[in-house]
Amino acid sequence: MVDAGTLATTAQVLLAIGENASADQILEANTNYWILMAESDIYIESGEDFVTNYASLTALTKQFLASLASHRAAFYAINQDQNSWQLATAQSKLNVIDAIWQAGLKHLKDSDKIGLMGL
């Protein structure tokens, strides 16, 4: 199977999930779904269609969006199956991932920074 998303890859999502990912979290069909959800979240939060305009983005913007999308997808993955870790570990992972998401949202909502992204 090939990655269905544009902004992140399955491998990037698995890196964001971290150690001891469950079989459901490793399944590419699931990571593809979570990547698409993350891309939708990025579009809704920013008002910018980065997927459609991907070719016009700078390399640095693509890397920023890959990090943001993969961590958002990992958030969905961990929420879907927290049984791979003790509760404290799962919550810690979710807290770190949410902090990355919140920091990224600040940039996505800043029109000056959106202009720097190549759009």
| Any domain includes 1 | no
Q: Tell me: the pLDDT tens digits for 7-57?
A: 999 999 999 998 888 888 888 899 999 999 999 999 999 999 999 999 999
Cα 40 from Cα 43, distance rounded (Å): 5
Total domains, the chain: 1
| Any domain includes 61 | yes
| Any domain includes 72 | yes
Percentage of residues of the chain with pLDDT beyond 70: 92
| Any domain includes 81 | yes
Give Cα 81 to chain centroid, integer Å: 17
- 3-class DSSP assignment, residue 108: helix
Among the residue ranges 20-34, 62-76, 80-94, the one predicted with the least confidence is 80-94
HSE on the CB side for 1, CA within 13 Å? 14
- Phi/psi at 26 (nearest 5 deg)? -80, -25
Q: Tell me: the pLDDT tens digits for 39-50?
A: 999 999 999 999
